[in-house]
Structure 1
């Protein structure tokens, strides 16, 4: 069955169908039109069923780095534990979508809000998968460079940091999600552990924007990465990522080309990457 995030996307898309159908019924089909057409990606569905083109998509937000100091107080005091196993819990915030985006009763608004404030169950499944693989010696996280795409709460990336990843980058479509949720979650878990003397990731970065435009920020992200432990040396260059984490991130097939191009661009060493995507 589709993931819950894809179901939310389909629900938001189908909500606009009656209006499109009214426009379609007002037009007579052209007999010479082919049954299928893939040449007009802006048409509804893209399969040539005669549906009127929808409104143009909203402009993409600019790709930006979000600093650790840009934390929003929205999630303050709303931490709750997520139990990973008997010895580990990860703390997460809870943020109301209407408080941040002015959107009520919606998990997803394509092009505006990509669902990052909701804790999707695939994220929890991914954390448990990582935990199981590390316990069974199938995965070593220590010192690895990790990128979490479409991070939202950032629980998988936080888990990687708790297990000693050398670098963790968090990426989300919306900068507001990073400020209001991801950064507070990272501070509640990784900074707390660091202050207690526990080993955590030495470099952490937060990046907002669409996959089609975020690669340049990720490629130069090491230049301003020293935000937690100040252990990075000036002569240490960018080495790319060893592990890329994603959980219920791809819900629309037309986003796959951008994802593919992003992965190719940030993998500058052209080495095999380890992906973790729980089955959805």
Structure 2
């Protein structure tokens, strides 16, 4: 997304080691592959543009670290956009393989509501329909969203190759 013109791209994972050992090297490899020189250094890692940041933490606490968050219907942060206007929330949130645990679905959903820009922000979630053994899945998350009644949802894609669990891509936005 950063290579395509996004002004800021933030990655989040519970585990800082995943960010250090997997995410950052993958981001760096994409910049090297595109032969695009870095714009500035980052506290966690060099050779990655300043617009790209990495955050680790639990979903119930990580919003305290993120710069673009709504809190109680008011922006927690007034980070300026390129036009000089205050902004809060992320325009696009991409999630993959995040809805596997039933016990964390509500916390994840509350985080997405705090982090998504209003009224036009969009979430794309890629996940298995069911995560066997842990009980979660895209349909359980969809139920959480529908029970709240604040967001609209639509199924974007379903991948059923016959050899593994059905995977889905969902789009969520504020009603």
Q: Give the TM-score normalised by the residue count of structure 2.
A: 0.51
Contact 2:89 2:118 in 1 (8 A): no
Q: Which has the larger radius of gyration?
A: 1
Match of 2:96 in 1: 247
Deviations 1:33-54 (A, max 9, x none): xxxxxxxxxxxxxxxxxxxxxx
The within-5 A match list for 1:31-180 is 160-180=1-21
> In structure 2, what is the Cα distance between the partners aligned to 1:193 and 1:277?
29
Higher percent of residues as helix: 1
What is the match of residue 211 of structure 1? 59
The question of whether the paired residues in 2 share the 8 Å contact of 1:245 and 1:277 is answered with: yes
In structure 1, list runs of 5 or more residues that go unmatched.
1-159, 226-231
Aligned to 2:37: 195
d(CA) in 2 for partners of 1:253, 1:170: 23
Q: Is the 8 A contact 1:247 1:277 kept in 2?
A: yes
SS at structure 2 position matched to 1:245: strand
For structure 2, list consecutive stretches of 5 or more residues without a partner in the other structure.
Answer: 40-47, 70-76, 127-157, 159-166, 168-175
Q: 1:240-277 CA distances to partner (integer Å, 9 max, x unpaired)? A: 2111101121101221111111122223x532321212
Please provide the CA RMSD for this pair: 3.3
- Aligned with 1:273 (options 98, 109, 121): 121
In the TM superposition, what is the alpha-carbon distance from 1:237 to its structure 2 partner?
A: 4.6
Please tell me whether the aligned partners of residues 38 and 49 of structure 2 are also in contact (alpha carbons under 8 angstroms): no
Give the secondary structure class of the aligned counterpart of 2:20: helix
Report the alpha carbon displacement of residue 168 of structure 1 after superposing the two structures with TM. Answer: 0.4
Comparing both chains, which one has the higher relative contact order based on Cα–Cα distances under 8 Å and sequence gaps of 6 or more?
A: 1
Q: 1:219 to 1:209 in 2, by over 3 A?
A: same
Scaled by the length of structure 1, the TM-score of the pair is 0.34
Per the TM alignment, residue 202 of structure 1 is displaced from its structure 2 partner at its CA by 6.2
Instruction: Report which of the two has the higher share of strand.
Output: 2
